[in-house]
Amino acid sequence: MYLSKIEVHHYRNYSKEKVTLCDKVNIFIGDNAQGKTNILESIYILALTKSHRVGFENNFLQHGYPSCRIYGLLRDHQSLKELEIQISEEKKKVFLNQKEIRKIASYISQMNVIMFSPTDLDIIKGSPQIRRNLLNIEISQLYPLYVNYLNEYNKILKTRNEYLRQMSINGNTDSRYLEIMNEKLVDRGVQIFLYRKKYLDMINDQISNIYEKIMNKKGLRVVYQNSLDFENDEIEQMKAVFLHKLASNLKREISQGMTLYGPHRDDFFFAIGEENMKYYASQGQQRLAIISFKLSEVSIFQKEKGSSPILLLDDIFSELDISKRNQLIHYIPEDVQTIITTTDLKNIQKKILNRAKVFLVKDGTIQEKVE
Ligand SMILES: Nc1ncnc2c1ncn2[C@@H]1O[C@H](COP(=O)(O)OP(=O)(O)O)[C@@H](O)[C@H]1O
Ligand SMILES: [Mg+2]
């Protein structure tokens, strides 16, 4: 799939801007603070309804305006889809072919993007929440059902935690009510686990090969860390293990007033052989491990969706030395739409530049660069 057009209205530092993209490489070049990341972010939001910049997301509206709009035309095989998101202080609305879509799950599986960002190092260095968030976003793009399981799980989790807190305060226990909640929590929780496991297994089918080609080092893998120690993938047995865990830790859960086991505690780490990269790898190795992860996703998306995702590369060339840069480019299939931002065209190989569409970004305006 590829985005043939993107339009933004009163979005961040853009008043009104419209860009026609090509289906291969698109490069946005400009000095710092001109709006390069903003435009890439707008494409990400159009696809996923939220920003990749955590903690910076409540600032979409151009200063002084009550709402903003992002619109895009997506081509996928024979189909043409109009996507639109309208954001105001109070709410977000999404539209597919001008029809409002109320089920976010069915909207966010329409347009698939993979973002490469300078803040990606947090995927290794940061908190487990960042890694769970990454998994959730990527899996949601592939399987709308996952979004439903996740939403239901989070709802039950919230109610259950409140109930545990009440139990710790007033001491009474309606064990029947708790049992019902446990059944539901375990049911959704096991599904989430299976999706995550499948996803990380698919990553592991690719990641070591890619990393070895770029870094000349074997053995990169991702390791799923789950608080439940399932012994196999048999659903009924997994549920039994999960239920048992809840039952045998009830006292602790009541005293802490929260659910201590389940996918909301999941994590994964990057390892080379047996070594966790967080503690043993250089920053450069970590960066390339994450890039290898994201490159692995390209073929997962192609296989699972029958269509290529759109790659968004935010200023990542400046972080890599020239030889790594070239190897990375070598891994991006030619037929995948790629949207790159950079401050300097020197960062980009001639070979790629020749087949790219280049745009100049300056103070919230975008112009196509013609030679
Ligand atoms: N809500 C907003 N309204 C107006 N300007 C904004 C808003 N949010 C961010 N900006 C401006 O956008 C610019 C940063 O754009 P960005 O895309 O991050 O730059 P870069 O080109 O370096 O990637 C800054 O000048 C910032 O002040
Ligand atoms: Mg930027």
Nearest atom in ligand 1 to the alpha carbon of residue 38 is: 17
117 CB-near residues (< 8 Å, 6+ apart): 52, 314, 316
Same domain flag for 361 and 231: no
Task: Give the number of the ligand closest to the Cα of residue 32.
Answer: 1
What's the CA gap between 233 and 323, in Å, rounded? 42
Mean pLDDT of 31-54: 95
What does the block give as tokens for 289?
């491990």
Choosing from 10, 38, 117 the residue with most ligand 1 atoms within 8 A of its CB, the one to mutate for a pocket test is 38
125-163 per-residue burial string, b: 16 or more CB within 10 A, e: under 16: ebeeebbbebbbbbbbbbbbebbebbebbeebbeebbeb
Domain termination residue (choose one: 278, 306, 334): 306
Nearest atom in ligand 1 to the alpha carbon of residue 35 is: 17
Residue closest by Cα to atom 13 of ligand 1: 33
| 318-356 confidence digits (pLDDT tens) | 778 877 887 787 788 888 999 999 998 888 888 888 889
Choosing from 13, 43, 60, 62 the residue with most ligand 1 atoms within 8 A of its CB, the one to mutate for a pocket test is 13
Domain termination residue (choose one: 283, 306, 329): 306
Question: pLDDT band for position 194 (50/70/90)?
Answer: very high
pLDDT at 56: 67
Domain termination residue (choose one: 306, 327, 354): 306
pTM over 0.85: yes
| 3-28 confidence digits (pLDDT tens) | 999 999 999 999 999 999 999 999 99
* Ligand 2 mean position, distance from CA 118 (Å): 9
Question: pLDDT band for position 130 (50/70/90)?
Answer: very high
Same domain flag for 244 and 126: yes
Same domain flag for 331 and 302: no
pLDDT above 80 for 173: no
Residue closest by Cα to atom 16 of ligand 1: 35
pLDDT at 57: 64
- Expressed as residue numbers, the domain containing 254 is 119-306
* Ligand 1 mean position, distance from CA 5 (Å): 21
Residue closest by Cα to atom 4 of ligand 1: 13
* Ligand 1 mean position, distance from CA 292 (Å): 29
Mean pLDDT score of the chain: 94
SS3 12: coil
Report the CATH number at residue 369: 3.40.50.300
